[in-house]
Each structure stands twice: as C-alpha cells, then as structure tokens.
Structure 1
C-alpha cells in the first residue's frame, strides 16, 4: 500500500512537472514571439537606402545614363551606363550593398497594429526560389514603402512587350512552371493565397528565374489612395477572378481559386505576347464588366488555335479560368500538366548551356563557312575597286597609304571620240544615248582587257587609254596602243547603234608618245588621272584626225617603227593648235593582221 501511494505521488509529481514545463514553454515562446514582434526586425530607415538618382547612378558615383525611354504602359525605364547596360524598371536603391526595388505605399501615415506586425513577422519567414525576397519596410511618412530584392530583367509584362526579347517555347514553359512552383509554396504557407497575381508582379532575375512579388501584407497595403483615371483602376482588375469582382468587399488576400484564374490570364500574356484583351476594340472597364457579369458564354481572352507550347497548355488555360471556381485545377495539377508538356523540369540556364554546347560542336564549320563568305565578298569588293583604280594604287589605298604622284619618262596615250555624236545626241532621247554608249564602251572594255593598257576615263563619247602607266613595260607601250587602236577601229565596223542601225559609227583616234605624270585625285570617288603635255598632244591628234582613221604623232611613229611590223603612211605637216607645224602619220595596218579595217583615205 505504501509503495502504491509512493508510485501515485511520483506519477502526480511527474505529470505536474510536465504540465508546468509545457506551460512555461508556452509562456516563454509567447514571450519570445511578442518580443520578436516588438523588435520589428523588418523595419528599415529610409535614410539607409542609397537611392539611384534620376541620372541612373548612386549618389556620389560617376555612373551615367545611356538610354531612357517610356513603355506603352507609362512606366519609365532607365539604363545604367555599366558594362552590362543594366535596365532599371522601378524606383531602386542600394541597401547594405544590395540593389533593391522600392514600392511606395500611397498613405499619409500608417498605424502599426498587432495585425500588421503579425503580417511582417510572417513575411520575413518566407523563403522560396520563385518568391521574391522581402527586405523590409519603412513606416515613417512621407517615405512609407516596401523594399524587395531587385530583379534586373524586369517583370513578365516588361519582357513580353519588348519585341527585342525573343521567347521560344522553352522560355514560355519555364516562366509558367516557375510561377506554378511559387504559388504551390505560397498556398501551402501561412499566406494561403496571393490575391494580386498579375504579369507586372512576376519578376525575372538575372538567371531568367521568375520570382513572384507583392504578396502578403493585406492590412498594411489596404486603404491606399490611387491618383489614377477610371480606366487605370479597371486595368488593375483585369487579372481578378469573376467571383471576386462580384463581391462588394472581397477578401484582402483573395482566394486560391482566384489565384488560379489570375495565373491563366498571365499565362495567356506569356503565350501570345499580348495584352489580355483587345483594348483597340474595347476599354478596360468594358472587359472587367463583361467578366463580372458572367455571360452565357463567359467572356475571356481569345486563345489561338495553335501555339508553340502545345495544345495541352491551351486546354489548361481554359480550365484555369473556368467560370465555376470549384472546376479550376489547383497549382499542383497545373505543374503536372506543364511538366508533362515540357518532358520534365525546365531550367533556362541548362537550356542555354545545351544550346551553346550544340553551337560549339558546329562552330568550326560555321566559322569556316563564314570565312569563305567573307573572302568571296572581299573578292567582289576588290574586283570592283580594281575596275575603278589600278591594282597597285588600290592596294596602297587599302592599307591607308597616301598615293604620291609619279613621273613616267615614256608612255603612249590613246584618245578617241565619235564624229557626229552631238548630232546623234540631239536626235535621240537620253535613254537611247545611254544604251548606245554602254554598248560601245562594253565592247571597247572587252578588247582592251586583252592588251597591256589601262583605261583612264570616259567622258561622254571620249575614250582615253594609256600604256606604260601605272606599270612600266619598257618599249612595248607604243605597240600595245597601236594594237588596241587597230582592234577598236575594226570593232566599230560591225557594231551598230540600236536605235539607228543604218548609221556607221565614225570613230576618230589619235595617239601620242611622251612623258606623263600620274596620280590619284580626290577623296570621294578618287580618280587616277594623267597630266602633262603628252595628254594634250594626244587629244590634239584625235581632234585633228579623220573619221575611221588612226592619227599618229611623230614621236609615236618613231616608237612604233622601232618595234616594226606596222603599216604607217605619212600625212604630212599640219598646224596643231598650240604646237605649230607637226609631222604626223596614219596607222592603217599591221603585218599578219586579219581583222577588217576601213580603207585609208589620203
């Protein structure tokens, strides 16, 4: 009996100790909890934030702005002048060295109640890869604001409205999967739901990971005054579920099924890269009212028949924005469908690395192909350049050297024109003249390419050729010009004018041998020109000659005679303008020359 009494007393004592311990533990935990509420570890001082100025830099730094523009939604974008050209999509600053986004709360003052303290305390415990990190809040007017980690790619809305960003199916499915995973965690947490899910609240960080923001704190955020138009107020409701639109006082934190509806609208924006409703045909107020009214066929965004993310995702969207909340899937089911469609989990960085790896395999082949294309383009450019300038001169200009004028002791210059060209031009229209000269000079260009000569220029019907310049060829320059003269004269016998086929082209040729100076003139469309009395004399030989004859000066006659084999006849002395009496000759043949030539008329 005594032993039983002792045992009972011991049991009672143990139970009492346990009860007392539990009570003390509960009291201690509650005290600690109350203490943590009073500590307000989430509270920040606005002065501790180094604001990024309007010029895109921290106070006191030298970083400058390189670009600023305004998007279609009226949000200002500023580009920091860093090596990565970082875009700033909201009010930002640096808090303890970390770039943060600042969301201003439109209130004149905030009464920090126990309910608000509980909200902040809960928010500090949230940690998930797809939920943006809450840094803290400032509650002192006029700088009442929330501070979040900054995501430098902007929001989903910013990305889908930027045509320069290319989004394939992998990116779109990855964005949807990230949102679904973040919402799964949120719905299982003490937050229970988001209540304000929309594309502008889905941010994208530097690793292209979607982080949901602006969650929690319904009491702290409520009661704000918005200086906005009626259309802007309705635009904020485009992502709200119809059952919540119909409530006079909807829940501050929304509902889980309402979040699923909001997800469907965001998914539509991502898939189609467009706004939820066609605002060129209706206003935001009309769209919200039609969703709220619950038409016989519920009003929703118009889905495309096909998409790069697959038909299963389109069916998922239809289920997510179902009129009846109970018929909408939860986010676990949403993730399952997306995972099946993507053949597993998606990681954007892994996808990018895989693409880079595939590209690396083909890089050598691509580089070789591009190099070959570059060489072909260079050859085309060089061919065009060599047609405009001598190759030796062109090579010097390509390497940036100045081409100095050069003297040549001996060269032979050829001049020719068309007798009666002025009359022909007056009887023809400009297009006919262009066609005629093009036919004539194309024929001449083919012939001179077979000889060691260089075409200096063409002016109207005048055609000028030289040999011995820019490449010296000893004594052959006179023979080369003599050969060209005979070939060109022979060619015009069979060449006909398209619009005057019965007219014989009357080519008149003059050649002269002597010293010249050659050089490049001009920077824009540079010309390789000849200068000196030899050029003038060759022009005089041409102008004082006869149609279908080759007029040769005495100097050219001597140079050609030294080579031998050419048929030349004395014309006699004639008065050459500026030169006085000059002995000149006719060149009318060559030993073994078989091409037809016009008869010599003395």
Structure 2
C-alpha cells in the first residue's frame, strides 16, 4: 500500500492519555469516504502522521484541471461522497471537521472522495500564514461567517461544516475557486462575509454556465451557506435531498464507469494531441542537432551508437575572419556586434547550403568550413573554392546596420590535405577536425590579405585538376611554425570578369 507522510511544523508533542486515546480512536475510525489514519511518529523534530495515499490528488486540483472533462454524474458523485463522509464523521467522536475545504477532499484511483485533515489537532501544523498575508485570508474562504466573527477562526462546528460544504459544492458545480468572480482580494472577501449588515456576500451563481444542474441543487447550495446556522440543513437532510435529485436512479458506480469510458476517450485525444506535439518538437530537435553535427553523425548518436574517429586522406579546409574586427568591436555596443555577426553568418549559412561543404564552427568572427568529410568527395577543393568566391561576393555588398558606409574586410585561407575527424564531448558533442592540415589552413588565413582568397600549394595543385579558375602566384610566405611556403591567390573563375581588387 502506498502511503502519504504528513509532517508537522511542531517540534515536539507531549503524549497524554487523552492523546493516546484519540490515536486509537482515529485508527478505528473507518469509512469509505474518510481517509484512513494508519499511524503517527512522535519523535522530537520528526512529528508526522501517516495516511493512505490518494493518487489523483485533491478535489481542488482536479476541478482546476480543465483538460479533464467532468459531467454532472462525476460532480454528483463527488458531492455524495463528501456528504457520506461528513455524515459519518459528525456521528463519530470527532463531531466536526475543523477545516473542511476542497483541498482536504482527496481522490483515490477509483475517483472516490476521501476526506482528510480531521482530528489529531495536537499533531497538526501550526497556522502556515500570519494575518498580514493574503494567503491567511485565502485559507478562510470556506469558513462560515459566525466562525470568522469568533475568537478562533481556525476552528469550526457542525453547522460551519455545512457552510463549507456549500462552498465546495459551488466549486464542484461551476468549477471555480471560491469567490473567483468577485474581483476582490481574499481579505476583502472575508470582511464582506463577516459583516452581513452590508448584505449577505456569497459566491456568484451562474445557472446558465452549468445548465445540467437542477435548480433544486442550486437552492440546496444557498441553503447550506445560509447566514443563520440554525437554518442550515444537516448532512443527513442534505443526503435525502440529493437522493431525490438523482432521478435517473442509476447506480453511481455504473454511471461513473460509463463516464470513465468517455474520459478514457478524452485521454486518447489528449495523448494523440500530445504525440503530435512531441513529433513536432522532435523535428525541431532533429533540425537543431543536424545543424550542430553532420546528419549521419546525428543519426548515429540518436541511435546510441559510438562514433569512432576517422582519418580522411584528402579534404579541403577553409578559414576566414574579419580584419579589424577588434577595432570595430571596441567602437560598437555588444548588441550591435551580435546583430552584425548574426546578419553576416546568416547570409554565409544560406550560401554554403548550396555547396557540398560542412560548417565546422564559428568562434567570434572566425568561420571554419570543410569539404571532403564526413561526406567524401573528390571535388572538395572545387566546392570550397566556389564557396569562398561566393562568400567574398557577399561581403563586398554586405551592409553593417550601424556602420553602413563601412566594408567588411574578409580574409580567407584555404589548404588541402589529410585530416582526422571525430566527436568530442558528451554534454554538448562537437564534430571536430584534427591534424596538420587544420593548423596550416589557419596559418594560410592569418597571413592572407583582406578581400583576398589565400591558397596553399597543395590546394592550388588540387584545383589545377579542374580547369576554369584564375590563380596568381603570391610567392614564398612565412607561416608561423611552418617556415616559408609558396602560396597563391585565387582570383576568380575564368567564366567571370569581376576580378578581385
């Protein structure tokens, strides 16, 4: 059996004979609509009591969950369960419930209401809120006016329980929190309820919002919260009235089973809707993952398979950055730089999608792209060179929002050679490239010039296999950590006449 452990904020309790007798009586108090008391712990700083667990939570929680469809059969069942439980409770040694609210009416897995929160006053927590808070007054919304006017607002009476029941019935019928339509604060509501000289103040009745409810039921609710406690019916009389209202004379359990079937159908619709939403979110996740990793790598990771590092014999690596970016950053706000990079790399991303390349990463103003891996192609140098020419064309016409008169000075470096690639990291996996080819490509870029495409000899030799490009010799170039290397400028395609400046 699953249980709920209810802890008290009291630090200690003195077990008197009276308390022990009450514990025994509580254990013996059994009814289908009262939550069974199972035991208590009286150790200092660990004071608690144990009751049966109710999987569907409180009635208040259920009523506020509008995704659950509750027709009158369900509502009537809840009302009858409370009446039966309170009838038995008031005949017992407890006499009355000190704090009857929809929050102490629990629902088990069979949709049966079980009342809790009665008896064991010595074990229960001290008031959670002080009188200066709105929460304190919100806790009193079910309390009868005569109790509110007394010196002990935390107590009640048999007639006070009937008043509280009337408020709960209103919650059940209209599925609204007490006094929800009043537009007043909880404190103002309590003041209005207490001072009847200003007129009787109760939750608003809206029969048109619940047409399935009998007018007799609404009259019963109003009778339950009558200003004069003597004019309120007893729970036994309430039970008789409710039985007359149940004209169908159908067993409530059978009726509930029928409604449960309808509820199950509603759940199926909700599950179907949630499934569609889940599929939509999965597509978004897949798109995001595919933008971070090569598609085949993303699929392998989603399948839970390990991605082994792989060596590629030939690939072409592209690096670019913006000359003078540090100076531009110092003269701009952070948001202006964010907008600049977002606009620029958005245009770059659209362009590279038309080429057989993979964007490895962007760090600040640095942009790194590769071709030839993870999708192997013999035309990798062509793909990178065509892409580089396109990106250079974009930069020449690109307008910086906050500096429209300024031209971005893009510097590009290209190198071809063997390269290793693999997944690094678990929390945020990245597809990374390793090897001398990557380092050389970075050096080629850093020793280049603005608005020019700088190529290594290896990249130039591979590109010569594909006629149609104008390449100029730059000559020996000092590369950090590499010494001197003969490098070249990629000028244009022979089919075009727009030479690089």
- Whether the TM-score (by the shorter chain) exceeds 0.5 is yes
Deviation of the 1:560 alpha carbon: 0.5
In the alignment, structure 1 residue 305 sits paired with structure 2 residue 205: yes
Structure with greater Cα Rg: 1
Alignment-derived partner of residue 356 in structure 1: 260
In the alignment, structure 1 residue 377 sits paired with structure 2 residue 276: no
Deviation of the 1:468 alpha carbon: 0.4
Question: Is this contact kept in 2: 1:105–1:146, CA < 8 A?
Answer: no
Residues 146, 501 of structure 1: CA spacing in aligned structure 2 closer, same or farther, 3 A cutoff? closer
1:164 to 38, 52, 61: 61
Alignment-derived partner of residue 561 in structure 1: 464
Deviation of the 1:310 alpha carbon: 5.9
Q: Distance in 2 between matches of 1:349 and 1:542?
A: 79
Question: Is this contact kept in 1: 2:170–2:221, CA < 8 A?
Answer: no
In the alignment, structure 1 residue 587 sits paired with structure 2 residue 486: no
Aligned-residue RMSD, C-alpha: 5.0
Superposed, 1:292-441 pairs within 5 Å as 302-306=202-206, 312-319=216-223, 338=242, 344-345=248-249, 348-359=252-263, 368-441=272-345
In the alignment, structure 1 residue 238 sits paired with structure 2 residue 157: yes
Matched position secondary structure for 1:537? helix
Report Cα offsets for 1:74-111 as digits up to 9, x if no partner. Answer: 9xxxxxxxxxxxxxxxxxxxxxxxxxxxxx99499xxx
Q: Distance in 1 between matches of 2:427 and 2:391?
A: 32
With a CA cutoff of 8 Å and minimum separation of 6, indicate the structure with the bigger relative contact order.
Answer: 2
Superposed, 1:183-194 pairs within 5 Å as none
Alignment-derived partner of residue 149 in structure 1: 30
Matched position secondary structure for 1:376? helix
Please list every run of 5 or more consecutive structure 2 residues that lacks an aligned counterpart in the other structure: 11-15, 37-53, 65-69, 117-121, 127-146, 180-184
Please list every run of 5 or more consecutive structure 1 residues that lacks an aligned counterpart in the other structure: 1-62, 75-103, 109-137, 186-190, 214-225, 242-261
Alignment-derived partner of residue 259 in structure 1: none
Aligned residues: 428
Question: Is this contact kept in 2: 1:154–1:205, CA < 8 A?
Answer: no
Question: Is this contact kept in 2: 1:568–1:588, CA < 8 A?
Answer: yes
Q: Distance in 1 between matches of 2:82 and 2:484?
A: 100
Residues 492, 379 of structure 1: CA spacing in aligned structure 2 closer, same or farther, 3 A cutoff? same
Residues 145, 540 of structure 1: CA spacing in aligned structure 2 closer, same or farther, 3 A cutoff? closer
Report Cα offsets for 1:300-325 as digits up to 9, x if no partner. Answer: 77343337556543322444576899
Residues 107, 468 of structure 1: CA spacing in aligned structure 2 closer, same or farther, 3 A cutoff? closer
Deviation of the 1:383 alpha carbon: 0.5
Q: Distance in 2 between matches of 1:324 and 1:479?
A: 93
Deviation of the 1:584 alpha carbon: 1.6
Q: Distance in 1 between matches of 2:296 and 2:113?
A: 61
Matched position secondary structure for 1:166? helix
Deviation of the 1:385 alpha carbon: 0.4
Residues 504, 204 of structure 1: CA spacing in aligned structure 2 closer, same or farther, 3 A cutoff? closer
Alignment-derived partner of residue 44 in structure 1: none
Superposed, 1:73-92 pairs within 5 Å as none
Alignment-derived partner of residue 500 in structure 2: 598
Question: Is this contact kept in 1: 2:411–2:451, CA < 8 A?
Answer: yes
Deviation of the 1:357 alpha carbon: 2.3
In the alignment, structure 1 residue 68 sits paired with structure 2 residue 2: no
Deviation of the 1:358 alpha carbon: 2.5
Residues 375, 567 of structure 1: CA spacing in aligned structure 2 closer, same or farther, 3 A cutoff? same
Question: Is this contact kept in 2: 1:467–1:478, CA < 8 A?
Answer: yes
